[in-house]
Amino acid sequence: MKQLFAITPEVDIQVLVSHLGTPPYSIVIVMESIEMAIETLQKSEGLSSQRSSLLNSHLQWLLDNYETAEGVSLPRSTLYNHYLRHCQEQKLDPVNAASFGKLIRSIFMGLRTRRLGTRGNSKYHYYGIRVKPDSPLNRLQEDMQYMALRQQPVQQKQRFKPVQKFDGSSGENYSGGGQHHPCAAEQTVIAQSQHHQQFLDASRALPDFIELELGQSNTENISPDDVKALQSLYREHCEAILDVVVNLQFSLIEKLWQTFWRYSPPDSVEGIEARLPRSQLLVLCRNEAVLKWMSTCDHLMYQALVEILIPDVLRPIPSALTQAIRNFAKSLEGWLSNAMNAIPQRMIQTKIAAVSAFAQTLRRYTSLNHLAQAARAVLQNTSQINQMLSDLNRVDFANVQEQASWVCQCEEGVVQHLEQDFKATLQQQSSLEQWAAWLDNVVTQVLKPYEHRPSFPRAARQFLLKWSFYSSMVIRDLTLRSAASFGSFHLIRLLYDEYMFYLVEHRVAQATGETSIGVMGEVQLWHLMCFSVLVLFEIVYWIV
């Protein structure tokens, strides 16, 4: 073991603790496991003493670039390709894939192997390991994808689509019959998608939907079999959407919508048409109870998708994945509108309101994540923090309070407490996560008097307006004083305002028993209906 790390046993333990986060009492077991793995490799591979000494650099590279993590996975082939590239750059002799697997398992204890991926495209993954957020391998993966897309001919830009099932009861496929062999560029894109899956929360399942009860709204004598068929088919449809999102196959969403809403040619929807004819689907789409039920289901599904794609708004996300999510959000409304062009208008409005809220949430959360990473660098810079604190102490908060009190009508004691607490937190050079906890505590304290009251949503909205007004006043004062740290404060203010919106949105959702997507969806639906009424009035005006 001394030869392996070329350091003393005491330092061995410290190194392993720092890299693996393993308790010291478990390090002895880990060291023994590594020693056994090295001995096994020496015997099975016939390694010379010179080659076995090179394992030191292999182990160090693994410890520097990977870490254990629950709920994430890495393709075995991707990890081994990373290793081969490292050996090529360092002019080292690599061990074969099987020996490399033994080496990994000797270091990262408890790794499990799973076969993940869609039918016809599944691969073995190591479950419980990921690339470290600060590893250069993250940038390597983004550069590989960029170069692959730049070199790809225009006619090949269509994303490789593995075979997908479109409902749980039939064996028909979305993408047709023939087997497709991806080119090198496509394989790189697929590998990139698999790499990005470690940043998702793929363990999240679709929540249960409420039962569809027509009650007295059943004026068109809709049969119970049609209701049951709609519930079953829509559940399968939503599960298929979740499946392709987990696999980052965003372009398949449009095909799923076209199939369900019968936009596709008849031969591609034969199975679904047999279970619920299009004529009955149109009747159901006019029913008020169905509209409300489907809106509720959509909010549950889209909330699950948001939590899969962005499980933590503060955690660093690769720029390529962020851009893919934003492009996906930009396409959603157009895809759905085209797929539903022959569906009753009320159903289209209901569906568009939900998907619009989903798209807006994805854009907001990715922007929030981008702001968080930019602000993280500021919050870690001691000189910038000291300058910010110096500039903040020059702000005339008494004047700010005097001007803002007429508009916001906030208690002076509350404002002063937040001012002092903000300065103290800044002086402590708190991390981004500590600031997030501070902001969360502010929301809790301010909204506590309104908990379990019908006025809670209104109080939450009012708090956002007041917070934004006060922060604007402080930024104005810093601007007029030509504060040296104005740029840093502007960035921090943007982040904190956006994160406050995020926190309040979730508090309102929790208080009302809805999803945050549902809260935003109601706003979107209201805007769409108002727009429709205005258009109708305009038409009537010109006719008259």
Residue position matching structure tokens 């002092």: 420
Alpha carbon separation from 178 to 157, 163, 175, 471, 472 (Å, rounded):
19, 9, 9, 59, 60
Query: Angle at the Cα of 512 (from 509 to 515), degrees rounded to 5?
Result: 35
Burial zone of 176 (CB within 10 Å; 0-12 exposed, 13-18 middle, 19+ buried): exposed
Closest CA to 106 of 198, 42, 199: 42
Specify if 107 maps to a domain.
Answer: yes
**Predicted local distance difference test score (pLDDT) of residue 225:** 92
Burial zone of 487 (CB within 10 Å; 0-12 exposed, 13-18 middle, 19+ buried): exposed
345 and 413, same structural domain?
A: no
Q: Tell me how many helices (H) and strands (E) the chain has.
A: 23, 3
Per-residue pLDDT of the chain (544 residues; tens, 9 = 90+): 333 333 333 334 344 444 444 444 344 444 555 555 555 555 555 544 445 556 667 777 888 888 887 767 778 888 888 888 888 887 787 878 887 887 887 777 777 777 665 444 456 788 788 888 778 887 665 444 433 333 333 333 333 333 333 333 333 333 333 444 555 554 555 566 667 778 888 788 899 999 999 888 777 778 999 999 999 999 999 999 999 999 898 989 999 999 999 886 665 566 788 899 999 999 999 999 999 999 999 999 999 999 999 999 999 998 889 999 999 999 999 999 999 998 999 999 999 999 999 999 999 999 999 999 999 989 989 999 999 999 999 998 888 888 888 888 778 888 888 999 999 999 999 999 999 999 999 999 999 999 999 999 999 999 999 999 999 999 999 999 999 999 999 999 999 999 999 999 999 999 998 898 988 766 554 444 444 433 443 443 334 3
The last residue of a domain, from among 111, 143, 175 = 143
Specify if 340 maps to a domain.
Answer: yes
Closest CA to 101 of 35, 37, 48, 49: 37
Specify if 310 maps to a domain.
Answer: yes
Specify if 123 maps to a domain.
Answer: yes
> What are the residue ranges of helices labelled H in 22-96?
24-45, 49-53, 55-65, 76-90
- The CB density around residue 345, as the number of other CB atoms within 10 Å, is 11
342 and 227, same structural domain?
A: yes
534 and 420, same structural domain?
A: yes
3-class DSSP assignment, residue 70: strand
| CA distance linking residue 68 with residue 83, whole number of Å | 17
The residue segments making up the domain with residue 483 are 381-543
528 and 402, same structural domain?
A: yes
| CA distance linking residue 87 with residue 507, whole number of Å | 50
| CA distance linking residue 115 with residue 123, whole number of Å | 5
User: Which residues does 304 contact at the CB level (< 8 Å), separation at least 6?
Assistant: 204, 205, 206, 207, 242
| CA distance linking residue 462 with residue 134, whole number of Å | 39
362 and 392, same structural domain?
A: no
Q: Do the beta carbons of residue 467 and residue 375 sit within 8 Å?
A: no
Give the CATH number, domain containing residue 63: 1.10.10.10
Cα dihedral 233/235/236/239 (nearest 10): 160
Two tokens at 479? Answer: 């601007």
429 and 362, same structural domain?
A: no
111 and 229, same structural domain?
A: no
Backbone phi, then psi, for 316, in 5-degree steps? -55, 135
| CA distance linking residue 244 with residue 239, whole number of Å | 9
Closest CA to 14 of 57, 63, 67, 81: 63
456 and 334, same structural domain?
A: no
Specify if 176 maps to a domain.
Answer: no
277 and 227, same structural domain?
A: yes
DSSP H/E element including 74 = strand 66-75
The last residue of a domain, from among 143, 169, 184 = 143
| CA distance linking residue 226 with residue 410, whole number of Å | 55
Specify if 44 maps to a domain.
Answer: no
Radius of gyration of the chain (CA): 28
The last residue of a domain, from among 143, 175, 195 = 143
537 and 388, same structural domain?
A: yes
363 and 240, same structural domain?
A: yes
| CA distance linking residue 86 with residue 121, whole number of Å | 27
385 and 361, same structural domain?
A: no
**Predicted local distance difference test score (pLDDT) of residue 507:** 94
Task: Tally the domains of the chain.
Answer: 3
| CA distance linking residue 141 with residue 84, whole number of Å | 14
Specify if 254 maps to a domain.
Answer: yes
Would you put residue 429 in left (φ > 0), alpha (ψ -120 to 50) or beta? left
Cα dihedral 212/217/220/221 (nearest 10): 60
Specify if 491 maps to a domain.
Answer: yes
Would you put residue 48 in left (φ > 0), alpha (ψ -120 to 50) or beta? beta
Burial zone of 4 (CB within 10 Å; 0-12 exposed, 13-18 middle, 19+ buried): middle
| CA distance linking residue 342 with residue 179, whole number of Å | 33
